[in-house]
Amino acid sequence: LGTLPDEFTNYQRSHTKIDRNAGKGHCAWGSEVDLDPFFGIMAVAPPSEWGPVGTPEPRAFGGNMDNKDLRPGTTLYLPVFNEGALFSAGDGHAKQGHGEVCITALETALIGKFRLTVRKDLSISMPYAETNEWYMTMGFNMNLEEAAKQALREMIALVGCNSSMTRDDIYMLLSMSADLHVTQLVDINKGVHMIFNKKYLP
């Protein structure tokens, strides 16, 4: 199962007690973890020409991104492929590490409030996100290195749209100041996201 399927072959269920008031999860083996809830799935409807699409893998429409940095207060941009966008969200997680290495997080029910805005001034082909402090780009591919390259290319393009820097200069700046994270390794398409702090823009 997960990232090491040859080493972990048994299914195991574990129940964690959640204390919402304290913001803690009490694991069956004795650990106490800080809750950090987010929705693993946020998506619009995929292009109709793709045919039936399930929920396990993240793609250009969003989907099962399992990105713990997409917290409340973050703006997520998704390309729209259908009339009305048909946004959906689910797969509530109370806690997850970058990588989600053994398939599961601390799964839970969540209730969320979303503000949906149509941005006709934007033309994008991949999801990205931002806060007041940073930009985030994403890459999805069965090959982890290709996912990293996609996230990097998307960030180069995004910084280029928000500065007068050359592509070469952006590439060097990102090498110094941006962080690549392995989002998850277990959702068919692996995920990598890059975070770049806006304070480094000239």
The overall average pLDDT reported for the chain is: 97
Give me the helices (H) in 71-166, please.
144-161
CATH number at residue 137: 3.10.28.20
Is 142 among the domain residues? yes
pLDDT digits (tens, 9 = 90+) for 164-197: 999 999 999 999 999 999 999 999 999 999 999 9
Number of domains in the chain: 1
pLDDT-derived band at 54, boundaries 50, 70, 90: confident
Say how far apart CA 134 and CA 111 lie, in whole Å.
26
Is residue 91 in a domain? no
Q: Tell me the per-residue pLDDT of 115-159, one tens digit each, with 9 for 90 and over.
A: 999 999 999 999 999 999 999 999 999 999 999 999 999 999 999
Q: How far apart are CA 128 and CA 76, in angstroms?
A: 6
For residues 22-33, give the mean pLDDT: 97
b/e sequence 68-101, b meaning 16+ C-beta within 10 Å? bbbeeeeebbbbbbeeebebeeebbbbbbebbbb
Instruction: Give the pLDDT confidence score for residue 36 in this predicted structure.
Output: 98
Domain span holding position 132 = 128-200
Q: What is the pLDDT of residue 61?
A: 98
Residue 147 located in a structural domain: yes
pLDDT band (50, 70, 90) for residue 85 = very high
